């Protein structure tokens, strides 16, 4: 059982408390191949297609919770990725799009949609995806651009936060807003538990993607 010090900022709590789960997800074979620049165009398009329903759910629920006293403290249209993801998917599939079947994505979407009934848990999903996109996601964008000699942002708009030209100060402000959320200790513990589960959901996505690599 995780011991939570009352004076630990929530941003520190979720970062340090989920380190093992985070590292496990990042250490997947698919992510290793992606970071090494060894995923081909079809494999990357498959990755985007699997992610798409996750962002559809995340951004739909986010808009619904924009006025919530807890979740609304983090919701920001400048973070939304769906339009950029769709533009990239069109680029990588030459406009054909791509439909995929992903039980892992279905489970992830269901978990996001369930947070409508408990907005503090939406915080875990929002934090994990968007802070990841503003952090390690930036490295993925650079790797893809270099590997495929892309003229940025063509093909990597997903990682181009047009309204957030300087990610670091934005992330600092985001963490400050996270720390300011009016949560008691039990609620903070619930957010941490959800963050751990979100990384497990991501791990399941990567496991599916790894299996797809093996089959091709």
83 closest CA partner among 191, 188, 157: 157
Q: Which two tokens stand for residue 143?
A: 């790797």
CATH number at residue 77: 1.20.910.10
Q: Please check whether residue 110 lies inside any domain of the structure.
A: yes
Q: What is the pLDDT of residues 79-123, one digit of tens each?
A: 999 999 999 999 999 988 888 999 999 999 999 999 999 999 999
Region 188-206: mean pLDDT is: 97
Q: Please check whether residue 179 lies inside any domain of the structure.
A: yes
Instruction: Supply the range of the domain harboring residue 189.
Output: 10-215
Q: Let me know the angle formed at the C-alpha of 62 by 61 and 67, rounded to the nearest 5 degrees.
A: 110
Indicate the pLDDT class of residue 190, thresholds 50, 70 and 90: very high
Region 53-81: mean pLDDT is: 98
Q: Which residues contact 73 (CB under 8 A, 6 or more apart)?
A: 177, 178, 180, 181
Instruction: Answer for the pair 73, 106: CB distance below 8 angstroms, yes or no.
Output: no
For position 97, what pLDDT does the model report? 81
Mean pLDDT for the chain overall: 93
Q: Which two tokens stand for residue 104?
A: 């892992």
DSSP structure class, residue 192: H
95 closest CA partner among 51, 45, 150, 137: 45
Flag the least confident range among 7-16, 23-32, 54-63, 173-182: 23-32
For position 5, what pLDDT does the model report? 66
Q: Which two tokens stand for residue 194?
A: 């959800």
Q: Please check whether residue 1 lies inside any domain of the structure.
A: no
Instruction: Answer for the pair 49, 98: CB distance below 8 angstroms, yes or no.
Output: yes
Q: Please check whether residue 4 lies inside any domain of the structure.
A: no
For position 153, what pLDDT does the model report? 83
For position 96, what pLDDT does the model report? 85
Flag the least confident range among 56-60, 72-76, 146-150, 203-207: 146-150
Q: Please check whether residue 3 lies inside any domain of the structure.
A: no
Q: Please check whether residue 137 lies inside any domain of the structure.
A: yes
Q: What is the pLDDT of residues 177-189, one digit of tens each?
A: 999 999 999 999 9
If one counts the domains in the chain, the total is: 1
User: What DSSP string runs through 192-215?
Assistant: HHHHHHHHHHHHHHHHHHHHHHHH
């Amino acid at each position: 059982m995780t011991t939570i010090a009352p004076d630990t900022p929530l941003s520190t709590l979720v970062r340090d408390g989920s380190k093992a789960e985070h590292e496990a997800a990042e250490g997947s074979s698919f992510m290793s191949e992606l970071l090494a620049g060894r995923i081909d165009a079809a494999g990357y398009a498959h990755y985007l297609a699997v992610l798409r329903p996750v962002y559809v759910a995340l951004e739909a629920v986010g808009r619904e919770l924009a006025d919530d006293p807890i979740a609304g403290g983090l919701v920001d249209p400048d973070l939304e990725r769906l339009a950029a993801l769709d533009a990239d998917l069109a680029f990588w599939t030459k406009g054909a799009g791509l439909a995929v079947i992903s039980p892992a994505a279905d489970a992830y979407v269901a978990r996001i949609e369930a947070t409508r009934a408990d907005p503090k848990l939406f915080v875990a999903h929002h934090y994990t995806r968007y802070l990841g996109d503003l952090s390690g996601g930036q490295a993925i964008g650079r790797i893809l651009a270099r590997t495929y000699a892309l003229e940025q942002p063509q093909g990597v708009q997903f990682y181009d936060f047009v309204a957030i030209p300087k990610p670091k100060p934005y992330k600092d402000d985001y963490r400050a807003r996270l720390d300011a959320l009016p949560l008691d200790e039990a609620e903070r513990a619930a957010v941490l538990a959800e963050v751990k589960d979100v990384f497990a959901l991501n791990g399941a996505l990567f496991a599916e993607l790894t299996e797809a690599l093996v089959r091709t």
